[in-house]
Amino acid sequence: MNYYIVTEEIFDTLTKENISFMHKSIDKTKRLIATIDTVNDRVRKFNNIISCSNYTFTNHSDCVDDGSGIESWALEDSEYILEIDD
């Protein structure tokens, strides 16, 4: 699995069936994603699920607004469902 932060515009071009996790930034301009695809045009790439999770805790103002982050188990166990993407 590959973990990235991409812009909204790049996210719109990706194959949604290959995305297993997606979380919008607070300002809704970026997406944190887990995908089987390789994304070359990205804001940030993470080496693994742990570094991705750690980033959300140290940069939570981008990711969540309650001062917390996204646990690695949530990245792994949550499912991205296109039909409920708003």
pLDDT at 26: 81
Q: How confident is the model at residue 33 (pLDDT cuts 50, 70, 90)?
A: very high
pLDDT at 27 over 70: yes
Residue 10 CB neighbour total at 10 angstroms? 18
Residue 84's pLDDT is 54
Element holding 22 (H helix, E strand): strand 19-24
Answer for the pair 5, 32: CB distance below 8 angstroms, yes or no.
yes
List pLDDT tens digits, range 34-66.
999 999 999 999 999 999 999 888 876 676 666
